[in-house]
A and B are shown apart, each in its own frame.
Chain A
Amino acid sequence: MQNLNIDSIKKRSFDAIVIGSGISGGWSAKELTGKGLKTLLLERGPNVEHIKDYPTTNMNPWEFKHGGQITKEMRDANPVASRCYAFNETSAHFFVKDAEHPYIQEKPFDWIRGYQVGGKSLMWARGTQRWSQYDFDGPARDGFAVEWPITYAELAPWYSYVEIFAGISGNKDGLAQLPDGEFLPPHEQSCVEKHFTDVMAKKYNGARPIIIGRCAHLTQPQPIHLQQGRGKCQHRNICERGCPFGGYFSSNSSTIPWARQTGKLTLQPDSVVHSIIFDEKKNKATGVRVVDANTKQMTEYYAKIIFVNAATINTNLILLNSKSTRFPNGLGNDNGLLGKYIAFHNFRTTMSAEYEGMLDSTTAGSRPNGSYIPRFRNVFKQETDFLRGYAAGFSASRMTYNDTSGIGEDLKTSLSNRKFGNWRVGSHMMGETIPKESNYVALDDKQTDAWGVPLLKVSVAYDDNDEKMIKDFHEQLTEMYTAAGFTNIRTHDNPNKAPGLDIHEMGGVRMGKDPKTSLLNKWNQLHACKNVFVTDGACMTSNSTQNPSLTFMAITARAANNAVEELKKRNL
């Protein structure tokens, strides 16, 4: 019996455990297995294997029972998930259903989750811009949160490293606030997007550049992508169903199969991590407690190092729930700051307008991308009455419509004759929000979920800084749109739209220089438990205005590399 037990423990022992298989977890698994570590990759949801488990990816549009629309029953049952732009009849199977995974909204927060192998990397919007030194300088310069322990220069080689493997399309624009990367050919701007770019260049003397978006699409696959079994983006624009070509980056098409090829990966779906085991004698973490999603049975798994990549809020949850005599308030939480300083991106407002010029032109094909207005407010110095700034999307395409006024043969004829209207232009704001102690997540004292894990309470809200920024966005974009000759300019703000739908929540386990004011050091190790690493959005000290996923990838690759070096030096 004793031998059996030893065998069982041996079977459950690895060099490394990675919690979560989304964008950052996939990179952890790839890097750690690539450096020879026997790695257990845990995912709380079911397996999703590239191509095979994309049930709707090749479905013809008419094969959907409700024309792609969510039924009333589904919408009523999922008020949170159904507010997400990508949640529809073709993709709903990749989204967490509200009733199955409850949480407590102390303040309204739309928590959008994807519990399956690959996580949200299957349904993300794929914007991938580098952050600049102006983003990493933010807290120290403007006096909020806490100073970042890393610089852009330290991260730059790791950005290059992940960009080359993931495949990022973009144009080299030479902007200080938005560093160039290792780009595949860019998508084209539409004629009205180019017009806007040109007018803005003249009006603002280059201070407000408009560029084509940078996105994780293979516009021209390189040998490294073909080796992954991925091919060129086919411009289908139905990415949230999963792409059978591997045309965009996902854990499923890229990092996980790559990790598997090393022979070092054990991928274990349906594994809900309850907590991390801390051994007080060894003064380090020795493993994780996992609840089987189906049988609800708990099993322990052991490893020398643990990477927590459960996605920001769940990473906070797992650490908060990892209680021991040494850490009664959660693993590494000596300063009581774990779960605090959560921030997000302000996506609350949009603009729309029309352009009555260039009516002899239109676009053709489709583009899984748009143009992009990099942050132009408070970049080089403070110039407004709010801190930080916003980036924005910008896109222009030709409106088409059918005359539906008639009845009978008239109607039928007009339905066969699509007409061109004006160009339709629009922008969505992507504002940096300031991490604050009052924006936090915490465990509920009493209620637990179906797996015995305490329910999470979320208390995150907009503040005055966000309101001022929204006002400025409306004013500046209106000025810019007007200068470009756009008409019918409208602002669309909904103050009741809760944070969360941006799906860019970050923080709670922030990096910093001082263990008194941060949870993680510059190598993403918990200050107080050095063999536990957090490299997903939870580690972010501040938020920038750029999409964060590429930065999660770069930070993860950098931290994994360092972790393996430290392991070799027997420091862990």
Chain B
Amino acid sequence: MKRRAAMKSLGVALGGLVALPAWANSWTPDSIGNSTLLALNDEILLAEIVETFIPETNTPGAKSLKVQQFVQRMIQDCYDDTAKNTFKQGLLKTEELALKANNKPFVQCDAKQRTDLLLQMSNDAATKPFIGLVKNLTIRGYTNSEYYLVNIAKYNMVPGFYKGCVPVG
């Protein structure tokens, strides 16, 4: 009887668990809330930058997963002033370079123009730190999003086992 009671209480606990691992530290737009770091137009710009890194295909891209919110939240709360400055200056520079190259703001550029611009910025010593910062956070936000973890990584918070040696694949 005691065993059954114990298993029953465990069942309740199990029901509350969802299949994802500890290290897959992740986030949702709801969980991170709104950031006050950027003005609205800068946030729109950032959304197009993250979307350029990871675009919508037959699966969601970074913009629809709201990775731009994650990027802002992380820079606002977890990074120092140098990084914050790199970030803000980088956004200004992106806009400036877009106007210079294409005579229009970044958000109005087509996909190829945006990609070319970000590639060019990643090869320029002055803008490389900005591109590195935003790209890394974009990748982190995307690969730790609920969408990616559930549908692509298929990670399991409660594997319930460990095998020390299994074939790859």
The residues of A with any CB-CB pair to B shorter than 8 Å are: 51, 58, 60-73, 89-90, 187-191, 193-194, 223, 226-227, 229-231, 234-238, 244-245, 359-367, 398, 402, 404, 407-409, 411-412, 415-416, 418, 420
Cross-interface CB contact of A65 among B13, B27, B149, cutoff 8 Å: B27
What are the residues of chain B within 8 A of A63 when measuring CB–CB? 26-28, 31
Beyond A67-B26, A361-B166, A402-B143, whether A72 also contacts B54 by CB under 8 A is: no
- B22 CB, nearest partner CB in chain A, Å: 4
Interface residues in B80-136 by Cβ distance below 8 A to A read 80, 111, 115, 118-119, 135
- A405 CB, nearest partner CB in chain B, Å: 10
What are the residues of chain B within 8 A of A411 when measuring CB–CB? 53-54, 139
B18 at the interface (CB under 8 A from A): yes
What are the residues of chain B within 8 A of A418 when measuring CB–CB? 153
What are the residues of chain B within 8 A of A187 when measuring CB–CB? 162
Query: A235 near B159 (CB under 8 angstroms)?
Result: yes
Q: In the complex, what distance in Å separates the CA atom of A62 from the CA atom of B159?
A: 18
What are the residues of chain B within 8 A of A58 when measuring CB–CB? 13, 16-18
Beyond A61-B22, A62-B149, whether A190 also contacts B27 by CB under 8 A is: no
- B82 CB, nearest partner CB in chain A, Å: 12
Beyond A62-B145, A65-B32, whether A363 also contacts B164 by CB under 8 A is: yes
- A211 CB, nearest partner CB in chain B, Å: 13
Q: In the complex, what distance in Å separates the CA atom of A66 from the CA atom of B152?
A: 21
Which chain A residue lies CB-closest to B4?
A: A226
Beyond A366-B159, A407-B53, A411-B54, whether A236 also contacts B22 by CB under 8 A is: yes
Beyond A234-B158, A365-B160, whether A72 also contacts B79 by CB under 8 A is: yes
Query: What is the count of residue pairs linking A and B with beta-carbon distances less than 8 angstroms?
Result: 188
Interface size class of B (residues with CB under 8 A): 35 or more
- B57 CB, nearest partner CB in chain A, Å: 6
Query: A362 near B166 (CB under 8 angstroms)?
Result: yes
Query: B10 near A364 (CB under 8 angstroms)?
Result: no
Query: A230 near B162 (CB under 8 angstroms)?
Result: no
Beyond A365-B161, A366-B159, A407-B52, whether A68 also contacts B25 by CB under 8 A is: yes
Q: In the complex, what distance in Å separates the CA atom of A51 from the CA atom of B160?
A: 19
Cross-interface CB contact of A415 among B80, B139, B158, B165, cutoff 8 Å: B139
Which of A191, A360, A409, A412: most chain B Cβ within 10 A? Answer: A412
Interface residues in B27-54 by Cβ distance below 8 A to A read 27-28, 31-33, 52-54
Q: In the complex, what distance in Å separates the CA atom of A65 from the CA atom of B27?
A: 6
What are the residues of chain A within 8 A of B160 when measuring CB–CB? 234-235, 365
Which chain B residue lies CB-closest to A367?
A: B162
Contact with A along B67-85 (1 / 0, CB 8 A): 0001001100111100000
What are the residues of chain B within 8 A of A89 when measuring CB–CB? 25
Interface pairs (12), CB distance under 8 Å: A60-B157, A64-B27, A187-B162, A188-B163, A226-B6, A235-B158, A365-B162, A412-B54, A412-B55, A415-B54, A415-B143, A418-B153
Query: A245 near B28 (CB under 8 angstroms)?
Result: no
Known contacts A72-B79, A364-B166, A365-B163, then 20 further A-B pairs from the complex at CB < 8 Å, ordered by chain A residue = A61-B22, A61-B26, A61-B149, A65-B32, A66-B32, A66-B73, A66-B78, A69-B78, A188-B163, A188-B165, A190-B164, A231-B7, A237-B22, A238-B22, A238-B157, A367-B162, A404-B139, A407-B119, A409-B55, A411-B139
Cross-interface CB contact of A245 among B10, B74, B142, B164, cutoff 8 Å: B10
Q: In the complex, what distance in Å separates the CA atom of A191 from the CA atom of B163?
A: 9
Q: In the complex, what distance in Å separates the CA atom of A200 from the CA atom of B58?
A: 52
Q: In the complex, what distance in Å separates the CA atom of A2 from the CA atom of B118?
A: 83
Query: B77 near A230 (CB under 8 angstroms)?
Result: no
Which chain A residue lies CB-closest to B165?
A: A191
Q: In the complex, what distance in Å separates the CA atom of A249 from the CA atom of B98?
A: 59
Query: B144 near A415 (CB under 8 angstroms)?
Result: no
Which chain A residue lies CB-closest to B77?
A: A71
Which chain A residue lies CB-closest to B30?
A: A63
Beyond A365-B161, A415-B142, whether A231 also contacts B54 by CB under 8 A is: no
Query: A230 near B6 (CB under 8 angstroms)?
Result: yes
Query: A51 near B78 (CB under 8 angstroms)?
Result: no
Query: A65 near B21 (CB under 8 angstroms)?
Result: no
Query: B10 near A227 (CB under 8 angstroms)?
Result: no
Query: A408 near B159 (CB under 8 angstroms)?
Result: no
Q: In the complex, what distance in Å separates the CA atom of A193 from the CA atom of B2?
A: 39
Q: In the complex, what distance in Å separates the CA atom of A232 from the CA atom of B8?
A: 13
